[in-house]
Every structure is written in C-alpha cells, then in structure tokens.
Amino acid sequence: MASSAALVSLSLAQPLVEAVATVAFALSGLIEAARKRLDAVGVVVVAGLAAFGGGTLRDILLDRRPFFWVQHATWLWALLALCVAAMLFMRARHFALTERAMQWPDAVGLGLFCAGGTQIALAAQMPALVAVLMGVVTAVFGGVLRDIVCNEVPRAFSDHRPYALCAFAGGWLTVGLASAGMAGEVALFGGAALAFALRLAALLADYRLPTWQHGRPED
C-alpha cells in the first residue's frame, strides 16, 4: 500500500516538475530570441527547442513513446500562448535583454530537468550511470539546440561556468536518494535542488572551470 502511494505521489510530481522546467527553458529561449530580434516563427521555434529539445533527445535514446510533449500536448498550446504573450506585452523596459537575464530561468530548468530525466531513466531500468547521463542530456541539450539555432557556440560548452557538471551532480544525488529508499519525490526534488544550487553558486561567485591550456603551434 505504501509503495503504491509513493508511486502515485511520484507520478504527480514528475509532470509538475517537467511543466515548470519546460516553462523555465521556454523563457530562456524567449529571451535569447528577443536578443537576436527574431520574427514570430523564430521566437516559437527557439523557445520550443529550448523547452522540448533535451527531453525529446532523451526519449529517442530511451526508445520512449510517445514523446513527453506529445503525451502532454497542452504544453504545446501553453508554449504558443507564452510566446504570443511575450511578443505582445514584453518590451525592453520590462527586462534587460542580457545573457544574465537568461541564466536564471535556465538554472531552474537545469535542476528540474536533470532530476526528472534521471528518474525517467531509472524507471526504464537503466543502470545508474546511464540514468544520470540521460538526466544530463535532458537538462543540457535543449539549451544547446537553442544556442546553435541562434548561431552561438553553446553556452553549456563555452562559458566555463559549471553547467553540465551541475546536472551530473544532481543526477547522482537523485540516484543516491532513490537507492537509499527515499520517496521518489524526495529524490526528485533533492537532485533538482542540488543542481540548481550549484549552478546558482557558480553564477553568483562567477566561478569558472579551468580552460584547456595548449601551447602555441610551432612555426
């Protein structure tokens, strides 16, 4: 009975987490599209890639059907509504169209998607390392696709602040809490909180990973 109650609780928590993470990444896509002064189609495409790209790649790798945004098609309408509202009502005076403005919703989505993706892979009976990597894919590759479409080197690879590593750590905490017998939603929110906190700390402290130092080529 207790196990059934835990599964029900987790089944309610996972869609909530994916919904909040989807909105957070969609906002990061909207801000980037606004910075690039894209047209209406570009805004929707960039926001959609940011919101759904990582989860779609995860579902492809796990051979999981239907895709999560197909299963919850109302999220597509929500994305369209968000894009239309942003284009109609948001102006430069409402927020600074800067890279920093995009980092905060991006950090929220990172934490939530990494933990949710890890748990989905665990539910598919994937090994722990594969589950964590699926969490990283879910959390990182929406932003990667967003940046590629906007003709940017993906920030996940180039800004030197911990990003994928934060998701990696959050995924392992999710696995560890689940292995310790903690309730599914505790593992979910614990992993998400750790990834978000690490990313937030890196942004606030402006901590940067060491870059690859290579010698100058010989003449």
**pLDDT (tens digit per residue) in 25-42:** 888 888 888 888 888 888
Contact between residue 191 and residue 10 where contact means Cβ atoms under 8 Å apart = no
At 6, the pLDDT band (50, 70, 90 cuts) reads: very low
Minimum mean pLDDT range among 16-20, 56-60, 92-96, 159-163: 92-96
For residue 211, what pLDDT is reported?
A: 72
Q: What is the mean pLDDT of residues 11-31?
A: 76
Give the residue with greater pLDDT, 101 vs 140: 140
**pLDDT (tens digit per residue) in 69-91:** 887 788 888 888 888 888 887 66
Q: What is the DSSP string of 38-53?
A: --HHHHHHHHHHHHHH
On average, the pLDDT of the chain sits at 81
> What's at 34, amino acid-wise?
A
Is 80 exceeded by the pLDDT of residue 186?
A: yes
C-alpha 164: how far from its chain's center?
10
Q: Pick the closest to residue 13 from 190, 162, 164 (CA basis).
A: 190
Q: Which two tokens stand for residue 23?
A: 């909105």
Give the residue with greater pLDDT, 52 vs 155: 52
Give the whole-angstrom CA distance, residue 67 versus residue 59. 6
Q: Which two tokens stand for residue 150?
A: 């906007």
What is the phi/psi pair of residue 136, to 5°?
-65, -45
Give the containing element (helix H, strand E) for 4.
helix 2-35
**pLDDT (tens digit per residue) in 50-72:** 889 998 999 999 998 888 788 77
At 215, the pLDDT band (50, 70, 90 cuts) reads: low
User: Where in the chain are the domains?
Assistant: 2-86+96-205
**pLDDT (tens digit per residue) in 156-175:** 887 778 888 999 999 999 99
Q: What is the DSSP string of 144-193?
A: HHHHHHTT---HHHHS-S-SHHHHHHHHHHHHHHHHTT--HHHHHHHHHH
pTM over 0.85: no
Q: What is the mean pLDDT of residues 175-189?
A: 87
